[in-house]
Amino acid sequence: MLKSYVPSEIKEIIEYELVFDDGHNNGFGFPCDERGNVFPLEYEAARSNLKWCLENPDQFERYNEVVRNRRKVREPAHGTCACGREVYLVNEYYGTCQCQKCGSWYNLFGQEMLPPEQWETDPSEEEYW
């Protein structure tokens, strides 16, 4: 069994965009903080688009508006393997996952499992219908 088991939980993520659009969500959005400070843009095309938007306010119904987006994500259950590595319990192979450090296998409840090669049958070969 994994040590320090932490069950799965749903977390809320809030992100902000600086929006330039026609009022019907057609336009541009740039990632920013809640005050509208745009995060560094990785691509030259994105930087050019932001510059164009700022220089052409008459092209947009919503100009330079900060929009708050909220979404929820499920954080997988996790715990500490006997080797000390953090293991996230995600379905890698038929409801099990493997510690990337020592190779131990765990089911999605954090219980240690035999490696798949030691299973009596291969689940992919079983007929369920």
pLDDT digit string, tens, across residues 7-22: 999 999 999 999 999 9
Residues paired with residue 19 on neighbouring β-strands, in sequence order: 29, 65
- From CA 105, how far away is CA 122, in angstroms rounded? 15
The position carrying tokens 């740039």 is 30
Q: What is the pLDDT of residue 25?
A: 84
Residues 53 and 104 in one domain: no
Residues 65 and 88 in one domain: no
Domain count, the chain: 2
The answer to whether residue 52 sits within a structural domain is yes
Average pLDDT over residues 25-33: 95
The answer to whether residue 54 sits within a structural domain is yes
Of how many residues is the chain composed? 129
The answer to whether residue 104 sits within a structural domain is yes
- From CA 28, how far away is CA 47, in angstroms rounded? 12
The answer to whether residue 19 sits within a structural domain is yes
Range of the domain at 111: 78-125
Nearest to 37 by CA among 16, 55, 54: 16
The answer to whether residue 3 sits within a structural domain is no
58-92: per-residue pLDDT in tens?
Answer: 999 999 999 999 999 999 999 999 999 999 999 99
Q: Which of 64-68, 108-112, 119-123, 124-128 has the lowest mean pLDDT?
A: 124-128
The position carrying tokens 């900060």 is 66
User: pLDDT-derived band of residue 124, with 50, 70 and 90 as boundaries?
Assistant: low
